[in-house]
Structure 1
């Protein structure tokens, strides 16, 4: 297995590298750490400005990679590459294709709250077009030299595609040698101005959704014959953060999120709810491409 880490020169790149190291140690995957520099202009200019600019970009990327090499734990082996491309998205996806990467690992924008993930423009572009799983690290993510994934959680919505996502998550849990937890989030977001039905009716809807989610989880758990240990929990809160905080999260946990059903097959695409889950999760997320169940 090969995991491709997108290394930028900022803290987000170091967070991605830290998550990549944890994933590599957890499943024995090798790492390829890639920094993408912008293409310089085509034909050389008489003043050789384009060449000088290209050298500057390469030197800047080299320094970032030297720092990254020094920060890697000794038990994690990685290959470091620098490529030029029209965009970071294009460069990363091309390298992913060239090396046959099984997963792409990215960091968070600096605008995200500490401990939560936020999309920068590169991550947004990748999440709209990637054909492979994408792991994202929350802002401020770090791990010590012995950290491995200890538990896998699956964002289980109770929809028709949820059992399939649970099975895919179980395959990954088996690979990692960790238990699997199905997690359903019930959000009771009271707006300043409720709908005409009022808050009481909206709460009834939330309770109904919780009952349906509980029944959907039970249907999976009662007929589970997979090789991994599985459990189910429901997070409930007045907003997404509160719903997440109502659950206990293990040290070195990973949350699996399915792509939106509106996205194309075999592509990563975050819809409204999956995007909110990824943005509010207190642990790294692994976003899987949509497949035909």
Structure 2
């Protein structure tokens, strides 16, 4: 398994590397640290295009050599040129046949721990593989592995694929799995909001079904729990959950996404505002990240 880390010589880049290392150690994956540079725009007058790109590549290699990757993780550094950072990363994913992308969330945009810049936003709306976003400050964590996977499951199209992805991830990593039904936020449940008891019962039935499906696929030694969370808003519901350093939340791509492409839905975007744990967004028909034994 290979994970592409979108690297910049910034705190956000260091956050991405730290999370990439955590995921790699958890899943037994290799890391590909990729730095995407602009091509020959604004070439200095005294340099040819080739000289300019060579100088940039040399500087990039120096920055990559300073990235903090422990000796127990197999990693390779790559420098590529592309007009778009996100497009360059996606091209590297295809070239390397990687299973996922890891990026840092800091850099202008949403508030709180995740401040998504234009690059991350583009990836979350176009990537053909899962994208995991590191919250600001991940580089300061001492946690070496993923502690628990939380999977936000609704009844929308693609929920079954997301559940299977989370189950396979937990099985490969040996981590506990927590299934969360944000029922108050789901349009299907929302149709019943006039009857609070009907909403609650449907939520409980749904949670029980997903729990039984997960347990059927996971070894007995891997704990699986299921919970129902209600709230007046997405942020309110997510904030009611207990989170610890080393947790990871997994969500599905919006139903608006094209096949094998991500599209960050409004619910996931709102969740990012109150979360301080990494979020993995999975394309609605993408399961490669979990094809492990």
TM bracket (short chain): 0.7 to 0.9
Choose the corresponding residue for 2:261, options 249, 263, 267. Answer: 267
| Equivalent residue, structure 1, for 2:206 | 216
* Secondary structure in structure 2 of the residue aligned to 1:106: strand
Deviates more, 1:134-143 or 1:253-262: 134-143
* Secondary structure in structure 2 of the residue aligned to 1:135: strand
| Equivalent residue, structure 2, for 1:281 | 275
TM norm structure 2: 0.83
Per-residue Cα deviation, 1:10-54 (whole angstroms, up to 9, x for no partner): 111100000000001001101010111101159x88743645643
**Any conservation in 1 of the 2:153–2:180 contact (CA below 8 Å)?**
yes
| Equivalent residue, structure 2, for 1:142 | 139
TM norm structure 1: 0.83
**Any conservation in 2 of the 1:257–1:287 contact (CA below 8 Å)?**
yes
- Return the alpha-carbon distance in structure 2 between the equivalents of residues 230 and 45 of structure 1: 58
Per-residue Cα deviation, 1:183-214 (whole angstroms, up to 9, x for no partner): 123569xxxxxxxxxxxxx9757775454332
Provide structure 2 residue ranges, at least 5 long, that are not aligned to the other structure: 186-191, 288-293
**Aligned ranges for residues 3-18 of structure 1 at < 5 Å?**
3-18=3-18
- Return the alpha-carbon distance in structure 1 between the equivalents of residues 2 and 252 of structure 2: 21
**Any conservation in 1 of the 2:112–2:273 contact (CA below 8 Å)?**
no
Choose the corresponding residue for 2:148, options 145, 151, 163. Answer: 151
**Any conservation in 1 of the 2:111–2:273 contact (CA below 8 Å)?**
no
* Secondary structure in structure 1 of the residue aligned to 2:149: strand
Across the aligned residues of Structure 1 and Structure 2, the Cα RMSD in angstroms comes to 3.0
Provide structure 1 residue ranges, at least 5 long, that are not aligned to the other structure: 189-201
Kindly tell me the number of residue pairs found equivalent between the two proteins. 278
| Equivalent residue, structure 1, for 2:226 | 232
Choose the corresponding residue for 2:95, options 74, 98, 118. Answer: 98
Note closer, same or farther for the CA distance 1:13–1:210 as it changes in structure 2 (3 Å cut). farther
- Return the alpha-carbon distance in structure 1 between the equivalents of residues 154 and 235 of structure 2: 17
Deviates more, 1:98-107 or 1:277-286: 277-286
Could you say which structure has the larger radius of gyration?
Answer: 1
Is structure 2 residue 174 aligned with structure 1 residue 174?
no
Deviates more, 1:215-224 or 1:131-140: 215-224
Note closer, same or farther for the CA distance 1:94–1:222 as it changes in structure 2 (3 Å cut). closer
* Secondary structure in structure 1 of the residue aligned to 2:166: helix
